[in-house]
Amino acid sequence: MAAEDHDDVVRLSELAQSRHLRVCVAESLTSGRLANTVGAGGKASEWFAGGIVAYFTEVKERVLGLTPGTDPVSAACAEELAAGARTLFDADICVATTGVGGPGPEGKHPAGTVYLGWATAEGRGHRRLDLDGDPDDVMDASVDAAIRLLAFHAEGLRRPLDGD
């Protein structure tokens, strides 16, 4: 789906521009789809700081500060990835994706188990999704939910301008 056809990307773009926000993403499950969708938003070069795709747990630990031993399919992992990427990109808001796209389970986690982590300067949290469908369906639904989560949290943020 093109960014201009995605109401939540349009809303995120408007919020980020009007509130002078820096936005970033961290992805495991979605393999760059989230960054691709967000980066296609209007005037993204003014507000989208970037994204990182980290599949290997060792990369999540080394680059994003994931605590060793953390279950890679968990709320804790999603929150730590979001917080680590927010710091890495010096962003106001970050959303991270992790989970099991399928078609089969991964360890004790069934296919469609997804965690979205979010982080701002004020705090962090997560949402758990239990999705159905093939791997593409799970990834598409995860990207849509992640963009809605970014827009939701952007609603409450505003970066002060110099001199404010």
Strand partners, 119: 94, 124
Place of tokens 């970066």: 159
Please give the mean pLDDT across all residues of the chain. 93
H or E segment to which residue 42 belongs? none
**What integer pLDDT is reported at residue 163 of this predicted model?**
47
Using CA atoms, how far apart are residues 164 and 12, in angstroms rounded to an integer?
Answer: 23
**What integer pLDDT is reported at residue 56 of this predicted model?**
96
DSSP state of 20: T
Tens of pLDDT, residues 104-141: 999 999 999 999 999 999 999 999 999 999 999 999 99
**What integer pLDDT is reported at residue 119 of this predicted model?**
98
Does residue 160 carry a pLDDT above 80? no
H or E segment to which residue 12 belongs? helix 7-19
Helix (H, G, I), strand (E, B) or coil at 92: coil
**What integer pLDDT is reported at residue 156 of this predicted model?**
85
The pTM of the full predicted model, rounded to 2 decimals, is 0.93
